[in-house]
Structure 1
Amino acid sequence: MSEQSSKPVITLSNRADDRIASILDDEGYDPSTAGLRVAVERGGCAGLSYRFGLAASPAEDDVVDNRHGVRVFVDPAAVAYVEGTDIDVTQSAHGKGFKVENPNAEEQCGCGLSFR
């Protein structure tokens, strides 16, 4: 596990931080060790897909950022794909969800969860 020392790999908006903290609490995770785990995998409409999940603690090689409130664990293989990404909460006629703004994405599918 390595602590991020410069700019955060992923930034959570206040709304996203609050929402993720609430989900962690609802699921019974310890907020002092748990967090949001972010990875990237092949697949999806545009070639790569984000994989988000809750984790009780970071994996040994995760990049850990905890500047905002909720700890964010980033798979080291995903750092180059997600560095500088902002995550916010959005609400539309289709419901509430997370909006991902990734400056590294050349193209995104309509749902925003797949990119190239």
Structure 2
Amino acid sequence: MAKSMLIISRQAPWSGPSAREALDIALAGGAFDLPLAMLFLDDGVLQLAPDQQPAAVQQKNLAANLQALPMFGVEELFACGHSLARRGLPTDALALQVEVLDAAALKALIARFDQVVTL
């Protein structure tokens, strides 16, 4: 039986390759039917902001990759409520539907998975 994996994305979409790498791992794992979920934490929640303009900072748009997650079987998507609030992102205006978690729920989520990858 495949081990379950939680991918924690902590980097802003324009701060380097980590955000894209986290999405690539999730999409690849989903394509192989691995039991996995994705958590957006800290600056990683900025990936969920609508109407981003990545070309302005000479970056590629991650929106298509984010929207593809459910199509690849990655349906468990989570975001840290505290991280969203600190960055002024309202939960009803995110570019992707996620379950917003408080600190206790985050701890329980992480404990639920066999492997945790943080990027």
TM-score, normalised to structure 2, is: 0.25
Greater strand fraction, Structure 1 or Structure 2: 1
Greater helix fraction, Structure 1 or Structure 2: 2
The structure showing larger relative contact order (alpha-carbon pairs under 8 Å, at least 6 residues apart) is 2
